[in-house]
């Protein structure tokens, strides 16, 4: 051990023993480096650092002794001490890093987890197929220049029937089992709309032509069995312009079916039919096949009826104040639930309205699966 | 509407195959529902002659028969008691599938005797349940002839769906006419040659209507028959009726049914011996009762047309005849009625009395007035053929003549409306084949509708006729012209909020439901609804009789159903309409949801907690954020509707009146009444109450002004009255020095030891944000002092020592 007072003594004795001093400093350095190397952990290394470089450390003490030396000796010894100080500090830092690494390594080996344990559950919500399909439909028709129109579920007899060319004794009123509410004070019967068609009337009455709208919404008929529910969803379409003909109707519906069912080709059949609010009227069948219990839309030998449509009856145009010699166009209506069932293979209509968590989870859609024309409707 | 192929061919001369005909029916708007063609599955069955039937040597109940099949003799072991030598039966060779049970016949050995076929019972042929013995065919049945042909089972039955405008096709003749126009052959002429009467009808007819009711029945043609012998109708007639699902009754009754289906001309036959005096058409008297042919008593009123004799009503006009004067097997005198009844009145009567009949079905859709006379003549001939006897001169009241309906029609409209080219010659042919009359004009024809087309209303109907027969398959798909190069939004800002709300809630782990718009009245009343004006007059059941005033009721019931299935943790929402009143504005679009049970499943690391009102509050805020409502300006007040827990609920308002949302625990009494186990936390967001952003000239956002200088977090604990809201403390703190105070949040609530009774400690943390230079200690102290002063002033709070 080198005595801290050694240098004082040197100074006090005024002995020129620079060689001896150099040796002593080297010895100090060796000794300190050995201590650094021997520090087994970070705490001991810190103790070593304090003992060497701290306020009362050995190198610090030697530094303090420099003041008593002759200028020449001081310069020489000072330089030597500074070198020692740097070397030791560097060694401490290097040792610290390696001890730190070793300690981390040691800790990490004890820090295993069972990665197969289940995660903290973030409950997953789902979007109902009706909502998803409505969004899909909106995306397709937006691309074709349509806007979404809406109307009330509780309708008056005029908008639901009379204006649509279904006068009170018309047999078509019996085709639709209507829910009635107490009549209005002015004697007007009120119904739950049996179709989304009254929104055609409201749109044509409220805004000037041309029109290009789709109308999704709830509709009601007093019917309840395996395949009918008292409430269901329809989407109505209406195009009114000057030169719109039935070929446009067919083109529009074909484009819709291809986009909606996400197939390149859909076999398409227009059949003459009857609706009071369109003339001529048609029902539309699309081609399909059943393979292994799964329905495939597009090609195939079977036909599937999916919607009713036609050219807007001139009587309806007149009822809305439009001149049929100037304006013409087409309308169609189809069941949203039905096309959702067809596209996604959902077997039972009644389950749509039962809110069974298992059904919602199975047939529902993850929240951020937003259908767009750019990103695709479904995956 | 059902008919058979041979029946169709009575009116249509055609070489077309069954498939061609059925395809064409659908193509011209007479949609094929079903073809029942037994020809194929009955093809192997032939008439077999039992040359010999002897006792089976090893079985008491079996016989060994040698059957002559026309070409060869086959041995068949038969168990039927009536199998005997010399009979003719239905023979099926080995390899045949038996229609009645799907069994495939194989050559077999039955107790030592070969059997190479089968003699069949009616049940085995799928004809009836009769299985006592094998079918016995007529002695003159030709051996080896196809059984189907012998029995008339080779006549395919065609069922089509007739739309309400095609009442002319509720008779086979109308269908034949349409098919002929569509190129499926030619329409045979109808032989309606008048049959001369030989005496004056002892019964006269009259139309007896008060002012205003004359349209109820405009024509009544009658005819008396005598010396008849009623009884079963001939085989061909019974077969046709059976084929279309009608039960043969007697020649006279079957005749009326046949003419109804053949010509679409309903008729009625009275037993003339049971009629007293003349017959008149009149309105029923109020309270008049009537026993109809269906065996039921009906009470009539002054809006119902009846056919009556001197004493009483004998038929409800156009709907159903009466039991009292109905024809029976004993009938020898008959009075035939062919009348024209008002379509609307017939429909209304049928609906009111709840009677469905073939006559009503046709009258309410419109019966061809010009068919009154031919119908009677054809019926007359049929009656005389079948039942013998003689007929009177016809008696008539009113007239079958109706003014012709003339429509102006521009042939160009076909291409304008349909987008197809059908030249004028083709259009002309189609229309005349369908019975329309055409008078030429410059670019515009005067088209007269045939009497049987009561639906023709205007030019568009003529366009439809031309297109329908020309073929809808000629319509070519044409893209809609684009309105702009890129598409514009389809949804308004208000509409966009609904999908946003839905997806925001689903992201929060909630399941979207779609529940009925109606609910039980007793539950609707719990949510402020169930008033008279919101009740359905004709609900499907009492469980669905009131329009829902709030979606929560149905969601609570939905949650209950899931709990019953063993799912205790439920998070459901719905975005849809609810109803305040019956006006178009009385319908609100609302996002509502509820949570029940725990917020997650049990987990090895964290325990789940029970959901509470703050989950509902968070859900409501999430919706409001998603729809772009100004959530920072929302005030919360504890005056939620009555269906929430009074102490654990609130509304979120914008200004004093505009309620954006309500949330809280569902009132325990509501859950009790609905018999659903709680507790539940629920919310309702009134989406449309959130103001829409003002239209802006630019989409530019305001400049972001932030400082890189370090912010300081300061905590304060205030002692306040128990009733003081956290919100009032936070607001006061935030407002103390707006320039420096950023986010303020509550991080602890404490009451108990060290806090006076009736008080609580609320700890908040405030973020102090420097502007131009780092905040110094004195500056921080000054802001803190301002916060303490502001909170004290607003709430009477004391800084906790």
- Which has the higher per-residue pLDDT, B618 or A71? B618
**B168 contacts in chain A (CB < 8 Å):** none
- Closest CB from A131, A220, A368 relative to B507: A368
Q: A246 Cβ partners below 8 Å, 6+ apart?
A: A280, A282, A310, A311, A330, B417, B418, B419, B420, B467, B475
Tokens standing for residue B695 = 């239209």
How does pLDDT run across B727-742, given as a tens digit for each residue? 999 999 999 988 899 8
Least confident of A69-73, A202-206, B71-75, B756-760: A69-73
Gap between the Cα atoms of B148 and B154, Å rounded:
5
**Residue B137: helix, strand or coil by DSSP?**
coil
Residues 139-178 of A with CB under 8 A from B: 139, 141-148, 150-154, 169-172, 174-175
Radius of gyration of chain B (CA): 42
The mean pLDDT of chain B is 92
Nearest 5°: CA angle at B333, between B328 and B338? Answer: 85
**Residue A206: helix, strand or coil by DSSP?**
helix
Pairing of strands B511-512, B570-579: parallel
| β-bridge mates for residue A286, sequence order | A268, A304
Residue B739: name the closest of B703, B779, B700 by CA.
B779
| Residue A213 scores a pLDDT above 90 | yes
Nearest CA in chain B to A368: B503
How does pLDDT run across B6-24, given as a tens digit for each residue? 999 999 999 999 999 999 9
Q: Which ipTM was obtained for this model?
A: 0.86
Phi/psi of residue A40, nearest 5 degrees: -85, -25
Half-sphere exposure in the Cβ direction for A331 (13 Å, CA): 31
Model pLDDT, residue B729 = 94
Half-sphere exposure in the Cβ direction for B557 (13 Å, CA): 19
Contact B798, B792 (CB under 8 A): yes
Residue A69's CB: how many other CB atoms inside 10 A? 19
Q: Is B208 exposed, middle or buried (0-12, 13-18, 19+ CB in 10 A)?
A: middle
How does pLDDT run across B189-243, given as a tens digit for each residue? 999 999 999 999 999 999 999 888 999 999 999 999 999 999 999 989 998 998 8
Q: What is the 3-state secondary structure (H, E, C) of A294-306?
A: EEEECCCCEEEEE
Cα(first)–Cα(last) distance of chain A, in Å? Answer: 80
| β-bridge mates for residue B750, sequence order | B761
Flag if B518 and A171 touch (Cβ within 8 Å): no
- Which has the higher per-residue pLDDT, A131 or B131? A131
Gap between the Cα atoms of B475 and B466, Å rounded:
12
Model pLDDT, residue B731 = 92
Residues 332-351 of B with CB under 8 A from A: 343-344, 347-348, 351
The mean pLDDT of chain A is 89
- Which has the higher per-residue pLDDT, A60 or B434? B434
Tell me how long chain B is: 801
- Which residue out of B355, B500, B513, B564 would a mutagenesis test of the A interface target, given it has the greatest number of A Cβ atoms within 10 Å? B513
Q: If you count residue pairs, one on A and one on B, with CB atoms under 8 Å apart, how many are there?
A: 272
CA distance B591 to chain A (A): 13
Half-sphere exposure in the Cβ direction for A207 (13 Å, CA): 10
Model pLDDT, residue A60 = 85
Is the Cβ of B19 closer than 8 Å to some Cβ of chain A?
Answer: no
Flag if B565 and A356 touch (Cβ within 8 Å): yes
**B676 contacts in chain A (CB < 8 Å):** none
Flag if A181 and B547 touch (Cβ within 8 Å): yes
| Biggest CA-to-CA distance, chain B | 129
Helix, strand, coil shares of chain A, percent, nearest 5, are 45, 20, 35
E strands of B606-730, at which residues?
Answer: 635-637, 644-654, 658-666, 680-686, 712-721
Nearest CA in chain A to B363: A171
Flag if B164 and A172 touch (Cβ within 8 Å): yes
B43 falls in which pLDDT band (50, 70, 90)? confident
Residue B301: name the closest of B220, B213, B204 by CA.
B213
Q: What is the DSSP letter of B301?
A: -
**B344 contacts in chain A (CB < 8 Å):** 169
Is the Cβ of A208 closer than 8 Å to some Cβ of chain B?
Answer: no
Radius of gyration of chain A (CA): 44
Gap between the Cα atoms of B331 and B156, Å rounded:
34
Model pLDDT, residue B72 = 87
| Residue B181 scores a pLDDT above 90 | yes
**B29 contacts in chain A (CB < 8 Å):** 271-274
**B505 contacts in chain A (CB < 8 Å):** 125
**A145 contacts in chain B (CB < 8 Å):** 480, 482-484, 487-488
- Which residue out of A138, A191, A246 would a mutagenesis test of the B interface target, given it has the greatest number of B Cβ atoms within 10 Å? A246
Nearest CA in chain A to B476: A247
Model pLDDT, residue A85 = 87
Q: Is B725 exposed, middle or buried (0-12, 13-18, 19+ CB in 10 A)?
A: middle
CA distance B727 to chain A (A): 29
Residues 26-65 of A with CB under 8 A from B: none
- Which has the higher per-residue pLDDT, B41 or B179? B179
Gap between the Cα atoms of A11 and A70, Å rounded:
8
Residues 433-472 of B with CB under 8 A from A: 457-461, 463-464, 467-468, 472
Model pLDDT, residue B153 = 79
Nearest CA in chain B to A165: B457
Rama region for B112: left / alpha / beta (φ>0; ψ in -120 to 50; rest): left
Tokens standing for residue A325 = 């010699």
Phi/psi of residue B649, nearest 5 degrees: -160, 165
Flag if A246 and B417 touch (Cβ within 8 Å): yes
The percent of residues above 70 in pLDDT, for chain A, comes to 93
Is the Cβ of B258 closer than 8 Å to some Cβ of chain A?
Answer: no
- What is the DSSP secondary-structure string of B404-460? PPEEEE-THHHHHHH-----HHHHHHHHHHTT-EEE--SS-EEEEPPTT-TT--SHH
Model pLDDT, residue A1 = 47
Gap between the Cα atoms of A87 and A107, Å rounded:
30
Nearest CA in chain A to B467: A280
Contact A331, A312 (CB under 8 A): yes
Flag if A192 and B492 touch (Cβ within 8 Å): no
Is the Cβ of A112 closer than 8 Å to some Cβ of chain B?
Answer: no
How does pLDDT run across A242-291, given as a tens digit for each residue? 999 999 999 999 999 999 999 998 888 999 999 999 999 999 999 998 88
- Which residue out of B506, B597, B622 would a mutagenesis test of the A interface target, given it has the greatest number of A Cβ atoms within 10 Å? B506
Residues 276-335 of A with CB under 8 A from B: 279-283, 311, 313-315, 328
B706 falls in which pLDDT band (50, 70, 90)? confident
| Residue A15 scores a pLDDT above 70 | no
| Residue A174 scores a pLDDT above 80 | no
Residues 218-237 of A with CB under 8 A from B: 218, 220, 222-224, 230-231
- Closest CB from A231, A244, A279 relative to B516: A231
């Amino acid at each position: 051990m080198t005595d801290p007072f050694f240098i004082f003594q040197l100074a006090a004795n005024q002995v020129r023993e620079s060689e001896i001093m150099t040796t002593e400093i080297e010895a100090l350095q060796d000794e300190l480096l050995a201590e650094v190397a021997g520090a087994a952990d970070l705490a001991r290394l810190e103790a070593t650092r304090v003992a060497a470089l701290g306020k009362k450390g050995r190198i610090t003490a030697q530094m303090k002794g420099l003041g008593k030396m002759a200028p020449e000796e001081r310069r020489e010894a000072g330089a030597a001490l500074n070198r020692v100080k740097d070397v030791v500090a560097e060694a401490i830092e290097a040792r610290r890093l390696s001890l730190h690494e070793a300690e981390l390594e040691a800790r990490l080996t004890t820090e295993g987890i069972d990665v197969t344990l289940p995660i903290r559950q973030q409950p997953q919500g789902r979007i109902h197929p009706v909502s998803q399909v409505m969004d899909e439909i909106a995306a397709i028709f937006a691309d074709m220049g349509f806007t979404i129109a809406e109307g009330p579920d509780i309708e008056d007899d005029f908008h639901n029937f009379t204006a649509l060319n279904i006068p009170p004794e018309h047999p078509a009123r019996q085709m639709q089992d209507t829910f009635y509410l107490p009549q209005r004070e002015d004697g007007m019967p009120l119904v739950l709309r049996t179709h989304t068609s009254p929104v055609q009337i409201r749109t044509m009455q409220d805004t000037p032509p041309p029109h290009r709208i789709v109308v999704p919404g709830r509709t009601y008929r007093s019917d309840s069995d395996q395949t009918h529910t008292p409430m269901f969803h329809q989407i109505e379409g209406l195009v009114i312009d000057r030169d719109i003909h039935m070929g446009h109707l067919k083109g529009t519906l074909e484009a819709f079916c291809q986009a909606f069912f996400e197939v390149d080709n859909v076999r398409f059949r227009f059949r003459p039919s009857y609706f009071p609010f369109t003339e001529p009227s048609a029902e539309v069948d699309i081609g399909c096949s059943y393979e292994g219990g799964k329905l495939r839309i597009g090609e195939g030998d079977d036909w599937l009826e999916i919607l009713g449509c036609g050219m807007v009856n001139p009587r309806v145009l007149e009822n809305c104040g439009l001149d049929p010699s100037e304006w013409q166009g087409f309308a169609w209506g189809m069941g949203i639930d039905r096309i959702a069932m067809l596209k996604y293979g959902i077997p039972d209509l009644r389950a749509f309205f039962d809110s069974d968590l298992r059904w919602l989870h199975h047939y529902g859609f993850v929240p951020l699966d937003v259908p767009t024309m750019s990103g695709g409707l479904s995956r | 509407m059902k008919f058979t192929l041979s029946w169709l061919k009575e009116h249509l001369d055609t070489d077309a195959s069954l498939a061609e005909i059925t395809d064409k029916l659908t193509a011209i708007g007479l949609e094929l529902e079903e073809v029942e063609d037994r020809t194929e599955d009955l093809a192997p069955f032939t008439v077999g002659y039992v040359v010999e039937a002897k006792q089976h040597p090893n079985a008491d109940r079996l016989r060994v028969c040698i059957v002559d099949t026309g070409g060869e003799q086959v041995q068949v072991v038969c168990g039927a008691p009536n199998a005997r030598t010399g009979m003719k039966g239905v023979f099926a060779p080995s390899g045949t599938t038996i229609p009645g049970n799907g069994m495939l016949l194989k050559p077999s050995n039955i107790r030592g005797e070969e059997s190479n076929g089968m003699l069949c019972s009616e049940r085995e042929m799928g004809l009836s349940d009769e299985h006592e013995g094998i079918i016995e065919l007529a002695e003159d049945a030709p051996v080896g002839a196809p059984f189907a042909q012998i029995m008339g089972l080779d006549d395919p039955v065609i069922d089509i769906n007739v739309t309400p405008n095609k009442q002319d096709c509720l008779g086979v003749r109308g269908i034949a006419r349409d098919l002929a126009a569509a190129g499926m052959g030619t329409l045979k002429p109808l032989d309606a040659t008048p049959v001369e009467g030989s005496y004056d009808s002892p019964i006269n007819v009259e139309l007896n209507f008060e002012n205003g009711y004359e349209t109820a029945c405009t024509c009544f043609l009658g005819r008396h028959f005598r010396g008849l012998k009623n009884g079963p109708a001939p085989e061909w007639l019974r077969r046709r009726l059976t084929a279309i699902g009608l039960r043969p009754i007697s020649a006279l009754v079957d005749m009326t049914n046949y003419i109804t289906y053949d010509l679409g001309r309903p008729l009625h036959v009275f037993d003339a011996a049971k009629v007293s005096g003349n017959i008149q058409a009149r309105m029923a008297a109020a309270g008049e009762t009537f026993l109809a042919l269906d065996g039921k008593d009906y009470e009539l009123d002054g809006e119902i047309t009846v056919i009556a004799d001197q004493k009483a009503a004998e038929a409800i006009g156009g709907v159903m005849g009466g039991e009292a004067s109905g024809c029976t097997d004993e009938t020898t005198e008959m009075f035939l009625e062919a009348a024209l009844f008002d379509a609307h009145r017939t429909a209304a009567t049928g609906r009111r009395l709840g009677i469905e009949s073939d006559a009503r079905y046709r009258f309410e859709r419109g019966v061809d007035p010009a068919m009154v006379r031919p119908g009677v003549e054809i019926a007359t001939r049929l009656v005389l053929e079948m039942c013998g006897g003689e007929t009177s001169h016809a008696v008539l009241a009113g007239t079958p003549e109706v003014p012709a309906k003339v429509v102006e029609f521009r042939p160009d409209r076909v291409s304008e409306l349909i987008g197809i080219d059908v030249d004028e010659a083709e259009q002309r042919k189609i229309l005349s084949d369908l019975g329309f009359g055409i008078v030429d004009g410059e670019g515009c024809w005067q088209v007269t509708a045939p009497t049987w087309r009561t639906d023709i209303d205007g030019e568009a109907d003529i366009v439809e006729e031309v297109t329908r027969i020309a073929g809808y398959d000629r319509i070519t798909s044409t893209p809609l012209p684009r309105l702009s190069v890129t598409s514009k939004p389809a949804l308004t800002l208000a509409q966009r909020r609904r999908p946003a709300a839905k997806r925001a809630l689903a992201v929060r782990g909630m399941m979207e439901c779609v529940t009925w718009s109606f609910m039980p009245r007793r539950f609707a009343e719990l949510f402020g609804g169930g008033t008279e004006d919101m009740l359905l007059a004709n609900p499907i059941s009492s469980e669905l009789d009131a329009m829902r005033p709030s979606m929560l009721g149905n969601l609570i019931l939905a949650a209950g159903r899931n709990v019953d299935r063993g799912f205790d943790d439920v998070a459901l929402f719905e975005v849809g309409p609810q109803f305040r009143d019956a006006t178009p504005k009385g319908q609100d679009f609302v996002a509502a949801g509820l949570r029940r049970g725990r917020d997650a499943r049990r987990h090895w690391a964290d325990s789940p907690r029970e959901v509470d009102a703050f989950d509902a509050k968070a859900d409501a805020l999430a919706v409001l954020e998603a729809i772009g409502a100004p959530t920072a300006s929302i005030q919360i007040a504890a005056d939620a509707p009555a269906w929430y827990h009074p102490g654990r609920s609130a509304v979120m308002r914008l200004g004093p009146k505009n309620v954006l949302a309500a949330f809280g625990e569902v009132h325990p009494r509501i859950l009790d009444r609905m018999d659903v186990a709680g507790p539940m936390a629920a919310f309702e967001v009134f989406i449309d109450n959130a103001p829409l952003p003002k239209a802006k000239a630019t989409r530019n956002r305001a400049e972001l002004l932030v400082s890189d200088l370090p912010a300081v977090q300061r905590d304060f604990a205030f002692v306040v009255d128990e009733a003081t809201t956290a919100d009032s403390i936070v607001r006061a703190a935030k407002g103390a020095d707006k320039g420096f105070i950023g986010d303020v949040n509550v991080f602890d609530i404490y009451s108990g030891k060290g806090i006076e009774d009736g008080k609580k400690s609320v700890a908040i943390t405030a973020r102090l944000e420097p502007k131009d230079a780092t905040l110094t200690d004195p500056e921080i102290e000054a802001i803190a002092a301002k916060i303490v002063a502001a909170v004290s002033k607003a709430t009477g709070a004391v800084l906790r020592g």
